[in-house]
A and B are shown apart, each in its own frame.
Chain A
């Protein structure tokens, strides 16, 4: 898994843009997602529709019909991964993570490991409160016990502020959704980057960053919000992987062994068992430990 970036190790190949086209409209974009799928390069994987209107950000990934098996397979998951790249709020109104403001810690994963203090129960109590999110860097919680705040990977939520209770991940239709309604103190702003990722059970704590979009807000001193984005992210720019690695560290995942690959460098979107891994297992006697889903 040499192409996976850890905090200490980066390897870049040639860049093949995974985002082939971007249809932009006011506060809404569509991102075509291609990748090497089951060993076939430049395969149409699906598309992301992203909107940010009225303070509500929503992303919806529609897996292509030809690839629906990827979401049906219990060993594969499409997950959302979100980082904050701009957060300067250093007032008492800034949210805290383990009692600390994050204004000096950008970029960071949102939510950080085990969630924001306000997501705890009791809300805000980071010393006595129970965690509001799981220990994975993904936006959704693995939450069969129903203990965390939101959203639950296998659960439902309402999109576009409605009372429609749609699945976060729907293997039947191949749709995966994300949503956020953030805010900040007057006089400050936030920039988010939201990514669709893919994980399988081949390797522990590894994921492929497929595509993403940037969006954010600024709040004037009088409290008025202005919103910008979403815009598609060019993942081939210098420093992109460094930013994600730093975000993992700042989000509290630095010692957990998470690594990632950026789509466009030949990473294979495939469900386990991966043929290459099986070959290695047979030849070298390598012991593969079945990964726990998003610990």
Chain B
């Protein structure tokens, strides 16, 4: 992007921000909050690639949320509705398609606003099985039986809403570095769940 165009864009963004009440203050606060947490997909390079197995025979992998600050951070647990969909993934393929991989929504019966606390340096490990019964994998996801290279990044996001405020739960959005993964969509099993 040419320099002047970039400046114009920044001015426009600044104007939009100024028009939105408290934008500057809120974004600073969010940045400060977000800086305390870090999210990473724990799939290291093995034999030259980061490999994931998705589909009905998906192999679990882990996503780690780490508190990089010195002060405690409170998070929703993934087993309650408030934290169930906090983790999502942004995927992009070689054709230039970018889409979100998100938890499938469902109703809850027993459901409490359940929280956990990460002290400084603590981490929350989220186990993920990318099964189509549990996740909306997206139309551009490799079809069943195929393996494809995708760039993925994990997004951990909790929106500001009354329950989060009352429970003093961390809100914000953190994103892992985008990395290239070899993703196999393996179809098997009877019920596949």
What residues make up the interface of A, taking CB atoms closer than 8 Å to B?
A: 82, 84, 87, 89, 92-96, 99, 110-111, 115-128, 132-133, 139, 149-151, 157-158, 160-163, 179-185, 188, 190
CB distance from B61 to the nearest CB of A (A): 10
Complex Cα gap A280–B107 (Å): 49
Complex: chain B residue closest to A162, CB-CB: B166
Measured CB to CB, the residues of B under 8 A from A are 60, 74, 77-81, 84, 103-115, 126-129, 131, 133-134, 162-163, 166-168, 191, 193
Q: Considering only CB atoms, which chain A residue lies closest to B133 in the complex?
A: A124
Looking at the complex, which one of A93, A123, A182 makes contact with B111 (CB distance below 8 Å)? A182
Query: Which residue on B lies nearest to A98, using beta carbons?
Result: B193
| CB–CB A125/B134 < 8 A | yes
Give min CB distance, B117 to chain A, whole Å.
10
A84-B113 CB under 8 A given contacts A121-B79, A163-B167: no
* Interchain CA distance A128-B112 in the complex, whole Å: 23
In the complex formed, the residue of A with least CB distance to B112 is A150
Contact A110 B131, CB 8 Å, known A118-B84, A149-B80, A162-B166: no
Q: Which residue of A lies closest to B62 (CB)?
A: A122
Q: Cβ of A181 and Cβ of B79 under 8 Å apart? A: no
CA distance A120 to B79 in the complex (A): 7
User: Are B193 and A185 closer than 8 Å at their CB atoms?
Assistant: no
Residues from chain B with Cβ under 8 Å of A128 in the complex: 60, 129
Given the interface contacts A119-B79, A158-B113, does A183 sit within 8 Å of B127 by beta carbon?
no
Question: Quick check: A82 and B110 within 8 Å, CB to CB?
Answer: yes
Can you sample 24 A-B contacts with CB below 8 Å? A87-B109, A95-B107, A95-B109, A110-B109, A110-B110, A121-B79, A122-B128, A122-B134, A124-B104, A124-B193, A125-B129, A125-B131, A149-B79, A157-B113, A158-B113, A161-B163, A162-B167, A180-B109, A180-B111, A181-B112, A182-B111, A183-B111, A185-B107, A190-B107
Q: Decide yes or no: A157 and B107 within 8 Å by CB, A132-B79, A150-B80 being known contacts.
A: no
Instruction: Give every chain B residue within 8 A of A188 (Cβ-Cβ).
Output: 107
**6 nearest A-B pairs in the assembled complex, by CB-CB distance:** A184-B107, A149-B79, A161-B166, A122-B127, A124-B134, A163-B168
